[in-house]
């Protein structure tokens, strides 16, 4: 038997490292079972997760494991009787989270050991590369990708084969294949999971693409905030190089391709492909004018092709299973599967890979289990700072590039943040503008000053200083910025504002006209009050109030001085009698 601890970033953050140590300590030299790791299974809400395998069969999946469980798990495995750890086993409804998915890009995640090339090879790893190099021409590869209907998973949804073909068709010997792993959308972590959990899948997909376009060098540009992904990628590159899968004369086919990675240094705008190229060249990540497009003049002004991690993660599967198999899934305009990072106020958050064409409601309710604490769903945010909020009444929208765009949101890279009735939509718009204005590179006027001004207007609205006409002013700014900004970051920055105005205009109006936050989230618009009839005079709130705004005698009703109150909400959380209300 084999005990496998899920050691993705989320798992480690939840304590997987300590669980692994505990298991290791609990093992005897004489034990016949093995201890290993895997990456992220994508059920973040159950971390730390420990799987027990017999050969290739999963015998048990243990969830919310703690270090103190190490000894009895080891004992149970040693004895071959898992009944003693029944309490740790995953609940059936939670298991459904995974069972309802169709995994292609994530097919190995949480199953193989990401630090072991053989573990990848055991699941058809590098077979597609071998097939391509030995039996297919670059044109045939591009044709297969065309058949699959694979589109860029970074957000724009541009047909992958078209980009490859353009780069292949560009004149010149020196070409570059670049992977955009600068996954900057707050709320998205699909790419991180792939690199941490299945780095060879990325490498294989990139090598196939490099062969298709005729690149002699492949580069992964990976976010600096992903230290574990960087370590695993570095190790995978080393292993693949050692195994002759990278470098000169790969698999003896005469095809040569160098492979390296570069860590970004913290700039969201570097997810924009021309900014990414500038950054790769060691410069400030400021977008270039397009045209020329990277396919004609990219990295070092040579023809370059850039795709996102998830796009590459599908490539080997498509080669192995055929483009048609991939195209069989999805809708008319959107083929294959898509990975989403489901987070927010949803019960079961994590990575969800499903065929295109399913509804948002299916993802949030059937897979994600609905909303936490029995609250009502208000909206789902898709596409991060470039995307928009889709309201509850549109949750039957299917996952499809066009259908999602029609709502004002976008498919995006896969961030899916669920919001409940307590989420203020103006605050949400403000949050994204705060993000984009900080991440604006500062080059073009519309984005540099425009996002700043939008943020200022939204800030004044959430702090109760909104003015009549602010909504219209925001809309005017949004439209001008969409038209005027130089790159995708600026052009899409207004989306969160436009969609929230479109679907939640009444919330904006309540902030501006009535100076009220319907979701009761905007601190400056709240007031906390103590109900004298319910208050027992326990003095807890008065003692804990950081600004001494609460006064009252013991066993007598207390009161809050509104002039002093900083609306921190501590009293509200602390009161055991529900005597404090917020408006």
Partner 1 sequence: MCKNDCKDEKMKALDLVLDAHDHDSGSLITILQKAQDIHGYLPAEIIYYVAAQTGTTPAKVMGVATFYTQFRLEPVGKYLIMLCKGTACHVNGSDRIEAAITNELEITNGQTTKDGLFTLKNVACLGCCSLSPVMMVNEETFGTLTPEKAISILNDFRNRKEEEA
Partner 2 sequence: MSEIKIIIDGIECKAQSGETILEIARANGIYIPTLCHDESVAKYGACGLCLVEGEGLPKLMRACSTIPADGWILHTDSDRVLRARKVALELLMSDHDGDCKGPCSLNCPAGTDCMAYVNEIAKGNYHDAVRIIKEKFPFPASIGHVCPHPCEDACRRQYVEESISIAYLKRFAGLKDLEKDTWKPEVAADTGKKVAIIGGGPAGMTAAYFLKTYGHQVTVYDAMPDMGGMLRYGIPEYRLPKAVVDREVKEIEDLGVVLKNNVKIGKDLTLDEIRKEADATILAIGAWTSTKVGCPGEDAEGVLGGIDFLRANILGKPEEIGKSVAIVGGGNTAMDACRSAVRLGAENVYVIYRRTRNEMPADDEEIDEAIEEGVQFKFLTNPAEIISENGHVKEIKLQVMELGEPDASGRRSPVPVEGKFETLQVDTVIAAIGQKVDPEGFGVELNKKGIIAADETTFRTNLEDVFAVGDATNKGAGIAIAAIGEANKAAAVVDSYLNGELIPYRKPFVSERDLETVKKELAEKEKKARIKVPKRPAEERKRDFKDIVIELSEEEVMVEASRCLECGCHDYKECTLIECANCMEICPSRLKGEIHPGFTETKLITIERNQNKCVLCNLCVRTCDEVTGKGILGLVGRGFTTVIKPEFNDPETISGCKDCHKCFDICPTGALKLLD
- Of residues 410-469, those binding partner 2 (CB under 8 A): 437-446, 448-453, 456
d(CA 448, CA 397): 34
Q: Which H or E run includes 53?
A: strand 50-54
Question: Beta strand pairing status for 388-391 and 377-382?
Answer: antiparallel
Contact between 479 and partner 2 by CB under 8 A: the answer reads yes
| Min dist. Cβ of residue 14 to partner 1 (A) | 6
Q: Closer to partner 2 by CB, 58 or 445: give it.
A: 445
- Of residues 424-463, those binding partner 1 (CB under 8 A): 431-432, 435, 439, 441
Q: Closer to partner 1 by CB, 189 or 326: give it.
A: 189
Q: Which of 70, 157, 285, 336 binds partner 1 (CB under 8 A)?
A: 285
| Min dist. Cβ of residue 331 to partner 2 (A) | 23
Q: Which of 97, 164, 268, 504 binds partner 1 (CB under 8 A)?
A: 268
Report which of 334, 498, 502, 487 is spatially closest to residue 403, judged by C-alpha positions: 334
The radius of gyration computed from the CA coordinates of the chain, to the nearest angstrom, equals 26
Q: Which of 341, 371, 455, 519 binds partner 1 (CB under 8 A)?
A: 341
d(CA 233, CA 563): 55
Q: Pick from partner 2, partner 1, none: which does 450 bind, CB < 5 to 8 A by kind?
A: partner 2
DSSP 397-417: -BS-HHHHHHTT----SSEEE
| Min dist. Cβ of residue 356 to partner 2 (A) | 24
Window contacting partner 2 (CB under 8 A); options: 197-205, 299-307, 361-369, 480-488: 480-488
Residue 215 DSSP SS3: coil
Identify the bridge partners of residue 354 per DSSP, sorted by sequence position: 338
Question: How many other C-beta atoms lie within 10 A of the C-beta of residue 55?
Answer: 7
DSSP conformation class of 2: E
| Min dist. Cβ of residue 34 to partner 1 (A) | 26
- Of residues 145-184, those binding partner 1 (CB under 8 A): 183-184
- 298 with 177: CB under 8 angstroms? no
Contact between 263 and partner 1 by CB under 8 A: the answer reads yes
Cα distances (angstroms) measured from residue 390 to each of 140, 373, 401, 417: 40, 21, 14, 10
d(CA 297, CA 305): 10
Q: Is residue 132 packed enough to be buried (19+ CB in 10 Å), middle (13-18) or exposed (0-12)?
A: buried
Window contacting partner 2 (CB under 8 A); options: 33-41, 140-148, 188-196, 472-480: 472-480
- Of residues 270-299, those binding partner 2 (CB under 8 A): 284, 289, 291
d(CA 20, CA 36): 9
Contact between 553 and partner 2 by CB under 8 A: the answer reads no
Contact between 507 and partner 1 by CB under 8 A: the answer reads no
Q: Which of 44, 250, 477, 550 binds partner 2 (CB under 8 A)?
A: 477
Window contacting partner 1 (CB under 8 A); options: 23-31, 139-147, 273-281, 315-323: 273-281
Q: Closer to partner 1 by CB, 12 or 501: give it.
A: 12
Residue 303 structure tokens: 């023809």
Q: Pick from partner 2, partner 1, none: which does 384 bind, CB < 5 to 8 A by kind?
A: partner 1
| Min dist. Cβ of residue 294 to partner 2 (A) | 16
| Min dist. Cβ of residue 97 to partner 2 (A) | 39
d(CA 487, CA 332): 29
Site residue total, partner 2 (CB under 8 A): 31
Contact between 258 and partner 2 by CB under 8 A: the answer reads no
The residue to which tokens 């990278």 are assigned:
246
Contact between 43 and partner 2 by CB under 8 A: the answer reads no
- Of residues 182-221, those binding partner 1 (CB under 8 A): 183-189, 192
Site residue total, partner 1 (CB under 8 A): 57
Residue 442 structure tokens: 């500062």
Show the 3-state SS of 70-122. HHHHHHHHHHCCHHHHHHHECCHHHHHHHHCCCCCCCCCCCCCCCCCHHHHHC
Residues 6+ apart with CB under 8 A from 160: 145, 150, 151, 152, 307, 311
Residues that bind partner 1 in the complex, under the rule CB under 8 A: 9-10, 12-14, 44-45, 47, 183-189, 192, 223-227, 262-268, 279-286, 300, 341, 343-345, 349-350, 381, 384, 415, 417, 419, 423, 431-432, 435, 439, 441, 546, 568-569
Residues that bind partner 2 in the complex, under the rule CB under 8 A: 267, 284, 289, 291, 437-446, 448-453, 456, 473, 476-477, 479-481, 483-486
């Amino acid at each position: 038997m084999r005990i496998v601890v899920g050691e993705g970033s989320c798992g480690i953050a939840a304590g997987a490292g300590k669980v692994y140590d505990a298991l290791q300590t609990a093992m005897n030299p004489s034990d016949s079972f093995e201890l290993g790791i895997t990456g992220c299974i994508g059920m973040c809400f159950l971390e730390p997760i420990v799987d027990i395998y017999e050969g290739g069969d999963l015998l048990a999946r243990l969830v919310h494991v703690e270090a103190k469980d190490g000894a009895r798990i080891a004992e149970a495995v040693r004895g071959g009787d898992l009944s003693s750890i029944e309490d740790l086993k995953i609940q059936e409804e939670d298991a459904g989270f995974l069972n309802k998915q169709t995994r292609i890009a994530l097919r190995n995640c949480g199953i193989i050991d990401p630090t072991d090339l053989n573990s990848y090879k055991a699941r058809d790893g590098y077979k597609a590369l071998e097939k391509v190099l030995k039996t297919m021409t670059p044109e045939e590869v591009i044709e297969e990708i065309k058949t699959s209907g694979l589109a860029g998973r970074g957000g724009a949804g541009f047909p992958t084969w078209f980009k490859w073909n353009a780069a292949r068709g560009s004149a010149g010997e020196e070409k570059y294949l670049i992977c955009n792993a600068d996954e900057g959308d707050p709320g998205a972590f699909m790419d991180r999971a792939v690199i941490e959990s299945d780095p060879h899948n990325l490498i294989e997909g990139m090598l196939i693409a490099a062969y298709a376009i005729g690149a002699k060098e492949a580069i992964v540009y990976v976010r600096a905030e992903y230290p574990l992904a960087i370590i695993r990628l570095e190790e995978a590159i080393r292993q693949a190089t050692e195994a002759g899968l990278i470098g000169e004369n790969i698999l003896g086919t005469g095809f040569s391709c160098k492979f390296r990675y570069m860590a970004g240094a913290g700039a969201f705008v570097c997810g924009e492909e021309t900014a990414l190229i500038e950054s790769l060249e060691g410069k400030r990540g400021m977008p270039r004018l397009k045209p020329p497009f990277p396919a004609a003049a990219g990295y070092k002004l040579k023809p370059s092709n850039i795709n996102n991690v998830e796009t590459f993660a599908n490539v080997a599967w498509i080669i192995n299973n055929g483009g048609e198999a991939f195209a069989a899934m999805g809708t008319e305009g959107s083929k294959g599967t898509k990975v989403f990072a489901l987070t927010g106020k949803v019960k079961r958050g994590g990575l969800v890979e499903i065929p295109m064409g399913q509804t948002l409601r299916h993802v949030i309710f059937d897979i994600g289990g609905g909303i936490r604490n029995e609250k009502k769903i208000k909206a789902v945010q898709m596409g991060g700072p470039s995307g928009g909020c889709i309201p509850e009444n549109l949750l039957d929208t299917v996952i499809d590039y066009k259908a999602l765009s029609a709502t004002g949101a976008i498919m995006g890279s896969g961030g899916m943040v669920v919001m409940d009735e307590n989420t203020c939509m103006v605050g949400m718009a403000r949050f994204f503008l705060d993000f984009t204005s900080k991440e604006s590179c500062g080059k073009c006027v519309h984005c540099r000053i425009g996002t700043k001004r939008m943020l200022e207007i939204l800030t004044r609205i959430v702090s109760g200083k909104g003015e009549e006409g602010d909504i219209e002013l925001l809309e005017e700014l949004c439209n001008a910025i969409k038209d005027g900004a130089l790159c995708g970051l600026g052009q899409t920055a207004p989306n969160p504002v436009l969609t929230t105005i479109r679907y939640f205009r009444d919330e904006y109006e309540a902030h501006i006209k009535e100076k009220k936050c319907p979701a009761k989230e905007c601190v400056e618009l709240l007031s906390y009050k103590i109900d004298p009839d319910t208050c027992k005079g326990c003095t807890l709130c008065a003692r804990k109030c950081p600004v001494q705004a609460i006064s009252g005698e013991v066993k007598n009703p207390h009161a809050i001085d509104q002039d002093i109150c900083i609306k921190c909400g501590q009293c509200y959380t602390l009161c055991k009698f529900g005597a404090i209300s917020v408006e």
